[in-house]
């Protein structure tokens, strides 16, 4: 199996506090890998270790089939990244910032800057100084820089921070196209589950520094159970009716007034009748399926 | 390496820090030119004309050069460009050397421009004809000042990396300039100024060998920890 990026028991400790604890990432060529976790879960620290910004306390990293024991071994020419915030030089224009990147990356074609600007739709503001850009434009410029040298692996840490819904959609489409058309492998970290759900093909869930699960999104969809969602005015009374009259044990009060029943889904009519006859008002009754959010919450105990 | 040095210069394009070079180089001459234009006085010797302007530049040079060097090192932290800087296929040492090179070039340019400005403005007011021996002696004095300033660059880089800003360098420079001397009266720095003036050929002659040793020592003392810190440090979100 060809892994573009693997980590083995990657750990980072700060004065006795373990920020990342024996993380084992496995990212295959062509994956759009969603690295999910709450704020402070250890996503950025892991990414910083992968990109050589932080020295791991222990563990190892393998990139493109080669062990990376130090910063010098990291094949930066093959990686594009945005880590936390796309930092640029405020005194330089959009074009000049990318030109600087082109020169440092050793890209011989000057046209690469223009192509990159076109890709993210920043051609019109190419002469504008970086400090005069909106947050959304800064993010897009960060992506332009990450892509300028045609990387094989794109590492994006919360790339949609500060983007409006349209901007998020554009970036999502752009990343999906890049993965499909150019075969770029993408590692994208986020705490926004819906964003990852719509983009990623594979996910890794990190919680309190530990990687809890790594699996394909299709597996989650298969695993996620269907349930009968009942919205009612009195969840305690409804729960009593479900247990006593319908004999249902596998159910959960998801939130006040909202019950999820995981068994006897084919008997929704009978359940409804029982509830109504017991004087419980049923505002909604529908068959649904767990989302990635549900899966995430179950896994992290949220 | 040349790509990194060129990139370090490129980063300062349109930057106001370049104006600090012109400001530092031209201010003494500008001040003396204005004073002599207003008073319509002339100066009898080149020695007096150069000596006074040299002293002025020497007094504010630590602060001026701390701003320049501190900015070159501290800006990467202030503008949050460290993340991208260290994801280029060059060692961190390359970037550190690149930044040192830019700081040294800026300092030397400031001193040489100041020398030229003093020479050109002197042609208007100094009665004495300048001789080549004299001109080379003045140039030597300005190069001594540049050497002294270069010796402190690792100190500025060290405190800017630790403080993640140019501000600590400026504060320390002000402390150096204002710190009281061991024997009441002037500041400790005024003793250094007097010493450098002596080496440069003004006032009581001073031991150039001792000066060279002290400058080299100061340079090395902060060069090594700067390099170790820059190469080994973890780059976090706050930076």
Question: What ipTM score was computed for the predicted complex, to two decimals?
Answer: 0.82
Report residue B116's pLDDT band, with 50, 70 and 90 as the boundaries.
very high
Q: How far apart are CA A144 and CA A155, in angstroms?
A: 13
The pLDDT tens digits for A73-111 are 889 999 999 888 888 999 999 999 999 999 999 898 889
Cβ-nearest to A83 among B6, B13, B83: B83
Considering the domain architecture, whether residues A55 and A137 belong to the same structural domain is answered as yes
Residue-wise pLDDT tens digits, B97-107:
999 999 999 99
Q: What are the tens digits of pLDDT across the range A129-144?
A: 998 888 888 888 998 9
Q: Measured between CB atoms, which of A85, A104, A129 is closest to B7? A: A104
Final residue of a structural domain among A221, A254, A288: A221
Beta carbons of B200 and B140 less than 8 angstroms apart: yes
Residue at a domain's end among A166, A201, A221: A221
What confidence category does residue B187 fall into, taking pLDDT thresholds of 50, 70 and 90?
low
Report d(CA B121, CA A148) in Å as an integer.
50
Are residues A148 and A236 both part of a single domain? no
Is A241 found in the same domain as A202?
no
Q: What is the pLDDT of residue A6?
A: 92
Contact B84 A87 (CB under 8 A): yes
Q: Flag whether pLDDT at A145 surpasses 90.
A: yes
Please name every residue paired with A23 in a beta bridge, in sequence order, or none if there are none: A10
Q: Are residues A85 and A21 in the same domain?
A: yes
The more confidently predicted of residues B189 and A85 is: A85
In this structure, are strands A202-207 and A153-157 parallel, antiparallel, or unpaired?
unpaired
> Looking at the structure, do residues A97 and A151 belong to the same domain, yes or no?
yes
pLDDT of A233 reads: 87
Q: What is the pTM of this model?
A: 0.79
Whether B11 sits inside 8 A of A84 (CB atoms) is no
Do A30 and A168 sit in the same domain of this protein? yes
- Domain assignment of residue A110, given as a range: 3-221
CATH number, position A254 = 3.30.70
Shared domain for A95 and A108, answered yes or no, is yes
The values of phi and psi at residue B184, to 5°, are: -25, 170
Q: Of A188, A221, A254, which one is at a domain's C-terminal end?
A: A221
Q: What does the pLDDT look like over A219-239, one tens digit per residue? A: 776 666 778 888 998 888 999
Q: State the pLDDT at residue B31.
A: 86
pLDDT of residue A206 exceeding 60, the answer is yes
Phi/psi for A129 (5° steps) reads -70, 150
Task: Write down the H helix ranges in A89-234.
Answer: 94-105, 111-120, 135-148, 165-177, 193-199, 217-223
Residue of A76, A81, A88 with shortest CB distance to B89: A76
Q: In 3-state terms, what secondary structure has residue A80? A: strand
| A59 has pLDDT over 70 | yes
A114 and A254 fall within a common domain: no
Q: Which of residues 54-83 of B touch A (CB under 8 A)?
A: 75, 79-83
Provide the shortest C-alpha distance from residue A286 to chain B (in Å).
45
> Rounded to 5 degrees, what are φ and ψ at A66?
-120, 140
CB contact under 8 A, A91 and B13: yes
Q: Is B238 on the interface with A (CB under 8 A)?
A: no
Q: Mean pLDDT highest for which of A278-287, B109-118, B198-207?
A: B109-118
From B15, B89, B91, residue closest to A91, measured CB to CB: B15
Would you state the pLDDT for residue B181?
58
> CB A145 to CB B13 under 8 A?
no
**Cα A192 to the center of its chain, rounded Å:** 7
B200, pLDDT greater than 70: no
How far apart are the two ends of chain A, measured CA to CA in Å? 34
Closest by Cβ to B79, choosing from A72, A89, A129: A89
Confidence check: pLDDT of B158 > 90 = yes
- pLDDT confidence bin for B206, thresholds 50/70/90: low
Q: What is the pLDDT of residues A17-58, one digit of tens each?
A: 888 999 999 999 888 999 988 888 888 999 999 999 999 999
CA angle (A180 as vertex; A177, A185 as ends), nearest 5? 100
Q: Please give the structure tokens belonging to residue A224.
A: 């996620």
d(CA A169, CA A181) in angstroms, rounded, equals 18
How large a percentage of chain B has pLDDT more than 70?
A: 88
Interchain pair B234, A54: CB under 8 A: yes
Residues of A in contact with B3 (CB under 8 A): 103-104, 106
Q: Provide the 3-class DSSP secondary structure of residue A230.
A: strand
Q: How far B58 CA sits from the closest chain A CA (Å)?
A: 30
Which of B13, B86, B88 comes nearest A53 by C-beta?
Answer: B86
Mean pLDDT on B152-173: 90
If asked whether residues A271 and A164 sit together in one domain, one would say: no
Q: How many CB pairs under 8 A join A and B?
A: 85
> By the CB < 8 Å criterion, does B164 face chain A?
no
Chain A residues with CB-CB distance to B91 below 8 A: 71-72
Compute the distance between CA of residue B69 and CA of residue A99 in angstroms, rounded to an integer: 24
> Using one digit for the tens of pLDDT, what is the confidence trace for A170-199?
888 888 888 888 889 999 998 877 788 888
Four-residue CA torsion sign, A214, A216, A222, A226: positive
Query: Is residue B115 over pLDDT 70?
Result: yes
Confidence of residue A1 (pLDDT cuts 50, 70, 90): low
Query: How much is the CA Rg of chain A, to the nearest whole Å?
Result: 24
Segment B137-157, tens digit of pLDDT: 888 888 888 888 898 899 999
In a shared domain, residues A27 and A172? yes
Note whether A280 and A158 are same-domain residues. Answer: no
Total domain count for chain A?
2
Mean pLDDT, to the nearest integer, of B156-176? 89
Q: By CB neighbour count within 10 A (0-12 exposed, 13-18 middle, 19+ buried), where does B101 fall? A: middle
Q: Helix B92-125 to helix B132-151 angle, to the nearest 10 degrees?
A: 150
CATH code for position A64: 3.40.50.300
Q: Is residue A46 located within the same domain as residue A187?
A: yes
**pLDDT: which is higher, B38 or B111:** B111
Chain B interface test: which of A20, A91, A189 (most B C-beta within 10 Å) = A91
């Amino acid at each position: 199996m060809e892994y573009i990026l693997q980590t083995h028991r990657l750990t980072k400790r700060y004065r006795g506090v373990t920020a990342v604890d024996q993380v084992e990432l496995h990212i295959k060529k062509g994956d759009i890998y969603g690295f999910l976790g709450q704020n402070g879960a250890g996503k950025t620290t892991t990414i910083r270790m992968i990109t050589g910004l932080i020295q791991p306390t222990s563990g190892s990293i393998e990139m493109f089939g080669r062990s990376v024991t130090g910063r010098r071994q990291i094949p930066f020419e093959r990686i594009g990244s945005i880590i936390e915030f796309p930092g640029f030089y405020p005194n330089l224009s959009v074009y000049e910032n990318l030109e600087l990147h082109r020169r440092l990356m050793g890209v011989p074609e000057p046209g690469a800057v223009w192509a990159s600007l076109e890709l993210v739709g920043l051609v019109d503001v190419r002469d504008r100084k970086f400090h005069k850009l909106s947050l959304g434009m800064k993010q897009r410029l960060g992506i332009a820089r990450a892509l300028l040298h045609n990387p094989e692996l794109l590492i994006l840490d919360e790339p949609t921070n500060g983007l409006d819904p349209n901007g998020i959609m554009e970036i999502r489409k752009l990343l999906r196209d890049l993965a499909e058309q150019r075969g770029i492998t993408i590692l994208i970290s986020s705490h926004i589950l819906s964003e990852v759900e719509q983009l990623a093909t594979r996910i890794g869930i990190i919680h309190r520094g530990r990687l809890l699960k790594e699996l394909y999104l299709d597996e989650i969809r298969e695993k996620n159970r269907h349930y009968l969602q009942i919205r009612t005015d009195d969840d305690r009374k409804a729960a009593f009716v479900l247990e006593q009259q319908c004999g249902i044990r596998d159910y959960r009060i998801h939130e006040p007034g909202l019950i999820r029943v995981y068994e006897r889904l084919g008997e929704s009519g009978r359940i409804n009748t029982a509830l109504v006859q017991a004087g419980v008002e049923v505002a909604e009754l529908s068959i649904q399926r767990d989302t990635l959010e549900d899966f995430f919450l179950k896994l992290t105990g949220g | 390496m040349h790509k990194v040095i060129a990139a370090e210069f490129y980063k300062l394009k349109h930057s106001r820090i370049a104006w600090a070079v012109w400001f530092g180089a031209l201010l003494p001459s500008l001040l003396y030119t204005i004073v002599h234009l207003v008073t319509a006085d002339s100066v009898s010797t080149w020695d007096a004309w150069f000596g006074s302007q040299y002293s002025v530049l020497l007094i504010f040079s630590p602060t001026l050069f701390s701003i320049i060097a501190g900015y070159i090192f501290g800006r990467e932290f202030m503008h949050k460009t460290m993340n991208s800087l260290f994801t280029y296929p060059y060692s961190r040492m390359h970037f550190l050397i690149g930044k040192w090179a830019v700081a040294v070039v800026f300092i030397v340019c400031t001193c040489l421009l100041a020398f030229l400005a003093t020479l050109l403005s002197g042609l208007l007011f100094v009665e004495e004809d300048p001789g080549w021996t004299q001109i080379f002696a003045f140039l030597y004095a300005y190069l001594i000042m540049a050497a002294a300033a270069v010796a402190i660059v690792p100190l500025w880089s060290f405190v800017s990396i630790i403080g993640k800003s140019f501000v600590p360098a400026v504060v320390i420079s002000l402390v150096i300039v204002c710190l009281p001397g061991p024997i009441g009266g002037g500041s400790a720095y005024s003793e250094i100024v007097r010493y450098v003036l002596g080496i440069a050929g003004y006032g009581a002659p001073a031991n150039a060998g001792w000066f060279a040793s002290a400058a080299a020592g100061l340079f090395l003392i902060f060069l090594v920890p700067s390099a170790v810190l820059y190469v080994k440090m973890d780059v976090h979100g706050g930076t």
